[in-house]
Amino acid sequence: MWAELIEAHQLEIEVNPPEESPIQGNRIVELYVLQWAVGLQYNHSKMCTHGKLNVAEELNRGKGLATTIVFGCNMCENK
């Protein structure tokens, strides 16, 4: 009886299209930035266990060689 009810239920499938990164192209960074970014994710994981930091936005783009990249969490919306 339950198996018939389960089989009669239509599954809903959600597909989230991949979000386009706010950063396009290439950047030149010092290698310590990689270690800094790993530490940033590590420290954030202490307070937000399932959160993953992604690039949220790039500030000051096109205003010289220096730019600012803002990371945001996909779970708690912290930046």
| Positions in the binding site for Zn ion (CB under 5 A) | 48, 51, 73, 75-76
Q: How many CA atoms within 13 Å lie on the side-chain side of 47?
A: 8
Give the shortest CB-21-to-Zn ion separation in angstroms: 19
Give the shortest CB-25-to-Zn ion separation in angstroms: 27
| Cβ closest to Zn ion, residue 29 vs residue 76 | 76
Give the shortest CB-23-to-Zn ion separation in angstroms: 20
Q: Rounded to the nearest 5 degrees, what angle is found at the Cα of 12, between the Cα atoms of 8 and 15?
A: 155
| Cβ closest to Zn ion, residue 2 vs residue 42 | 42
| Secondary structure element (H or E) that encloses residue 43, with its range | helix 32-47
Separation between Cα atoms, residue 18 and residue 40, nearest integer Å: 23
